[in-house]
Structure 1
Amino acid sequence: MEGQRLGGRYQLESRVGGGGMAIVYKARDLILNRPVAVKVLRSQFGTDEDFVNRFRREAQAVASLSHPNVVGVYDVGQEGDTHYMVMEYIEGCTLKEVIIQRGALPVEEAVRIAEQICDALDHAHQNQIIHRDIKPHNIMIGKNGRVKVTDFGIARAVTSATITHTNAMLGSVHYFSPEQARGGITGEKSDIYSLGIVLYEMVTGELPFSGDSPISVALKHLQEPLPEPRQVNPNIPQSVENVILKALVKDPFLRYASAREMLEDLETCLFPERLNEEKLTFPVDEEMTRVVPIITPEMMEGHTSGRTGVGQRSRHEPSEEDEDDKPPKKWWVKALFWVGGIGLFFVLAFFGFNFLLNVFPSIPEVPVPYVEGIQVELAEDKIKEKNLVPQIVEEASDTIEKGMVIRQDPAPPMRLKEKAVVTLYVSKGQEQIDMPNLVTLPRATAEETLKKNGFKLEMVTFVEEEDDKAEVGTVIKQSPEANEKVYPGKTSVKVTISKGKAFVRMPDVRGKSVEAAQVELFKKGLGVGEIKEVPTYTTDKAGEVLSTHPYDPGMQVQKGVAVPLTVSNGQYPQDAKSAVATVYVEVVPGETVEVKIEVTDARGEAKVFQQETIAENKEYDVPVVLSPQKDAVVRATVKRQNDTEFRDYQTIPISYNSLP
């Protein structure tokens, strides 16, 4: 399913885990743009109505939990036959992976993890939610060290039929409580037992009970004594072992009364005054020597926390007086009594079962008829013929004619009990709405607004456009306009998104007058900032632009920027010196000579002062400007009639320091 989109918003990216009942994918919520984990039920459970209904109810209940140590449930949905749950994505690994990699954990770390699991269970139990599948595989350890309990409700939703189809339940048998293995009622104390197994595994690095088959492990939970943790790891403080022993006592009435009580014990078990406390002991466990009946809710109500009060006698312990008064019985009498009692129990159970069948006959199941694509009146008749109850839900449709059934829930080959409800989604035809106003909205909000109003995102075109005023990423234009009447399902929408102010290439205005530079800048959408006049060697023309720093020619500049101009004030700097060099060129009578005179001084390199053709001798007075850093050189070259290029004629150097 990688690459598939569920619910129109969850894009499945990669598989990150899975079990017998579900596969977990890392996905991205395209609307909120965040990573999520999506648990998708395997296809063989999608047609089990009882399982699906329980799954939905449990998922909705778990979604109501809000606790820092519980993986949050964001959404539950169905697409076709695919049922999925959207959860918080945790970047990290499972507690099982940590134990496999590191073995036994330090006691302090194990207690800290157990405290967080216990806190999560206490919150769930207060909300009447029992986990029923606490194990290290369902405990996530985030990169920040935060412990997260996951898979709430999934184990509870498993039916007897699904147990034979999945290894998920069998894989959890190492963490079963005795009452779970026995098939009795499972409640808060079953979760406490499972947490005790998890804590045992964390501090010892191994499980207390193992075997060749799930049945053998379950029997050990029922019959064998718990291998004491300190015999496996002597470094475990006695106080921590006491917590484990109390959580793992086989009689649920002797365990912690609640997860809150266990949490309070965990919070103090590492206090120095408790580390060497006396070992906790319990009454002799008769689980190993007798067959224990299934625990019923009435038995649970008849007990409190498992402790007997002063002056009260435990139900498991007869008084000494009673023992003395009773005459000794022969072993065969007791055996006969037990055999007769068990036989009587089965006889009564058989007749009771048949009596209940006669008094409360089972409701027959009927197949759900297929009614999609037909008139609603005819569809209702077909549903009623099967002794089912139709429920009509109208919704707009751009493709289905008014009054026709768009879809049904459930659909064939599903079977339902008689008088069950079948929901028919009936078209009320195309429905016009007012086009929502998207202008000024961020793109993500605009997409969500369109989706909520029934628009198909594949029919929405987003384009980007430069805008000098709107913030980047916001809508600046839309088509159709706001409040126009449209059909959401078939109207194409064009949304223009601002990508901010435009950028232009900085023109080169150096050497131009201020007025000419302003014209060039205005053409590009740029303004003129501060104009600063300075003396310069490069020109003697007042108002000539010297620099546009920091916006150099050719660079990309945002429209609207005010460009500062540095211009000449028409004067040389105060330390400048001026001089005149005389160049005399002689010409042979009857010839012509081409003369070129170049000046290198503080104003620049090899600037041509004069270039002309003469037929007689001529003298040139060449002005030069010198600075403390730059001397002057006047170079004259000539090209006579028979020459192909200019030849050096005269070079006159002038030093700054030689001038007064």
Structure 2
Amino acid sequence: MIGHTLSGRYELLARVGGGGMALVYKARDLLLNRFVAVKVLRHQFTHDDEFVKRFRREAQAAASLSHPNIVSIYDVGQVEDTYYIVMEYIDGANLNEIIRDRAPLQPDEAVRVASQICDALEHAHHNQIIHRDIKPHNILIGNNGRVKVTDFGIARAVTSSTITQTGSVVGSVHYFSPEHAKGVATGEKSDIYSLGIVLYQMLTGRLPFLGESPISVALKHLQEPFEAPRSVNPYIPQSVENIIVKAMRKNPLERYQSATEMLRDLETCLQPTRMNEPAARFLSDEDEESEKTRVIPAIRPDMRQTLEVPVQAAATAGDTDVRWNSEGLTERKRSWVLPTVLGVLAAVLIAVLIWAINALGDIVKSPDVKVPEVVNRSEQEARDMLEEAGLIVDSVVLEEPSKEIPEGFVTKQTKQGATVAKGAIIQLTISTGEDLPTMPDFTGKKFEEAKQSLIDMGVDADNVLPSEIFDESEPGTVIRSNPKPDQEFEPSETTVTLTVSKGREAFEMPILIDLSESEAKATIEKYNLKLPEDKITRTPSYTPKGKVFKQFPAETNEKVTEGTEISIWISTGYPEDAKEEPLNVIVYPAEDGKESTISIKYSDARGDNLELPATKISRMTQIPVTLVLAPGKDGHIMIYRDGQFLQEQWFPYADIPTGGTTVNTESEQPDSNEPENEPAADEDADAAAGGQLENAQ
């Protein structure tokens, strides 16, 4: 059928498995564009009503379950004589293949797989579904390690009157439970027995019961003990062997009572305190020691008619005293005679005692008294009243919580208001006060979730108050509560304060620009920020070598919290195409001999309108200025004297001379002390603007 498309939607790509009843294909869901598994009923069974019903029952049983360890059912359909089920596709292998390739598995892996199977069975049993065919072939393990139980083809609801066909048993004989092999009704404990065999096989690499025929294997399930797992694989912890032994008890009453109980045992069996616990012992073990020899039953001809063997029940489930002869099952030993005789004698004796008591009662009859009502009275007052009436207070006083009756007062009494013989015993029940609930532990839960839980407990919504603080916890989650966890409180009267995390406290990002690498690291450490080595970038820049010229986060007012990762960029010098031009700016005072203040502003590749420190002069002075020019960025100097603009000059990138340049603010020396208005040179080039260059000239 590979290449066919079912219902115009499911394109069959490859066959991935199959059994006696159906074939399984990997397919593509053309509507949702995803891979699915499609189980198709074999054509030889499409006209067999029983197989069609069983096939449909699988879809119904599995579709009623929703659990991460159970294969999901997406769709069912029929195209002419082709019946199919569309299921979740599991990319992985089945447990049988894993056992075949790698058994025995390590105990922790086997327990992990068994726990997930047990979790799936717990969900199925909770929904009244018994699988009845738990075996490694029906356990899928995805590449992500997730275990999925599949193939509910012979599952039935536990409310059915029987889960066996007339005269036969359905299922896989090597994983039968004894009651399954007998052909009697099976339940949750039958799945637990099968899971015990699967766990046995994972840890030993072999099956507990083998035989020449299905019938011989079924009889071994009924009668023979299996080889202890630790004798096959001594590396199995005793605690794990105990789980296998308990799950595989022939008497269902000695097995785990539910999948939940077995799951709890699996979850703790590898803890160091349990690894070497004593071997499990059962009451029936002593009986088996005293009855070593049992006769194997003969097989009736009608029992050989099917591979799925019927083994009729010799007694009720859990009967360990079964006797067989060459004709099959015989009656029990007639052991009823002695108990019958003893029972008759006991009945006669009781009758005589009753007659004697009645006769003595007529002779020695104590006076009757009316039992006083002591409910709602203190314990001491109640005792006094009863003793005064000639009654005896039972030495065992019961206790119970009560909302209506205060602590220490009587809530109940026996024989209240009745007339009894003097000296009768009266039992009292005393109030322990209101049975108050305890505060749950909401740590780590969202505030709204915790608030709703408190409202459900009876706390008024207005009495649930948040108190926000900065904390390492996730914002919006509860850190603590008042009242504290496990503390009793009255829901209708208590105001509950939940302390909620606002997350880490935010602060303004420190400015790192123009700091050296060591200074930047010290600042980052001071604020408890993080600077991974891969967040430090060293590259040319027009910032002086070794200085930070870029950071992230970069905004001046940007908020950060402790632990935030920071990125910085550090200059390794000027770029190769930068030109460094040293200048000598000659300036004069406004009046020779009198002090003037000279200010120089400049623009170059490092930035615009950069300013040198003001210089005071009283005679002609040369002020050195170095410009750093870049392609597309010329130099520019503006000179001010006593706050008045004096001169400006441009230095194109292409026209920079090879040597230094002198910029004179006077075309000639002044004749008088009047200020001159000739150009002056711009300032030194130490501020940061573009890239970096060590020495352009």
| TM-score for both structures, normalised by structure 2 | 0.42
Q: Please report the TM-score for the alignment, with normalisation by the length of structure 1.
A: 0.44
